[in-house]
Amino acid sequence: MKKRKRSFFAGLLLLLLLSGCGREEPRLILEDSAGEDSPKEQGETPESEASENLPEGNPDESAGTEDQSPQADGEGQGKKSLLVYVCGAVASPGVYQLEPGARVYQAIEAAGGLTPEADPTGINQARELTDGEQITVYRLGETVPPAREGQSMEQQDTRVNLNTAGKEELMTLTGIGETRAQAIIDYRQEHGPFASTEDLMQVDGIKEKTWEKIKEEITV
C-alpha cells in the first residue's frame, strides 16, 4: 500500500513538473519577441539625434538677408531733402522743404502759388532746384536785372541770404565771426525767417553799425 502511494505521488510530482515546463514556453517566446524589437528602436535613435542637430532655417537665405541690409541703409542715407527760400510775388514767402529733384514750379506751389501781380516770364519754372538757393519771383513792371550767361535770373544774386545761409556762409560777411553767425542761426530757428535785412539788428551782438557794413552783402 505504501509503495502505491509513493508511486502515485511521484507520478503526480512528475506531471506537475512537466506541466510547469510547458507553461514557461510562451513566456520565453514573448521575451524573444521583445528582444527582436530593441534593435529597431536602437536603429531609430541616430536618425532622431541627427534631426535634432540639424540647424534651423536656410543658411543661404540668412546670408542673403545680411547682404541686403547695408545696401538698404545706404539707399536711405543717400536721400536728403532740399531747403529753398521762395520770396517775391508769391502768396506765402518763406523757407520750404522739398524732395531731391524738385523743380522751381514745385517750390512756388509750396509757397502758395503766384500772386496776381507776379511776372511768370521772369523765372524758369522747369529748372531743377539745388539745396539752399533762393527763388525770387518778380512783379509785373519791376526791373529784372539781366541774367548772366548760363544762369537763370533767380540764380545770379550773390548776396548772402539770411534765411538759408549756413554758418560758414554767414562768416563770409564783414564783421561776422563764428559766434555771431551761430547767433543768427539760433534767432532764425527760434523766430522764423527774417522778414527784412533790418531784422538782423534784433540778433544779440549785432547792432546798427554792423548792419550798415553788411547791408549790401545780405538779402532775405
Convert the pLDDT of each residue in 6-26 to its tens digit.
667 777 777 766 665 555 444
Average pLDDT over residues 211-219: 88
Topology classification of domain 79-157: Ubiquitin-like (UB roll) (3.10.20)
The Cα 107–Cα 123 span in angstroms is 12
Topology classification of domain 158-220: DNA polymerase; domain 1 (1.10.150)
Q: Is the pLDDT of residue 139 over 80?
A: yes
pTM: 0.37
Q: Is the pLDDT of residue 32 over 70?
A: no
Q: What is the mean pLDDT of the chain?
A: 73
pLDDT digits (tens, 9 = 90+) for 57-85: 554 444 444 444 444 444 444 568 899 99
| Domain spans of the chain, in order of start | 79-157, 158-220
Average pLDDT over residues 140-154: 54
Backbone angles phi, psi at 59, to 5 degrees: -60, -35
pLDDT digits (tens, 9 = 90+) for 96-113: 999 999 999 999 999 999
Least confident of 55-64, 86-95, 123-132: 55-64
Average pLDDT over residues 168-187: 89
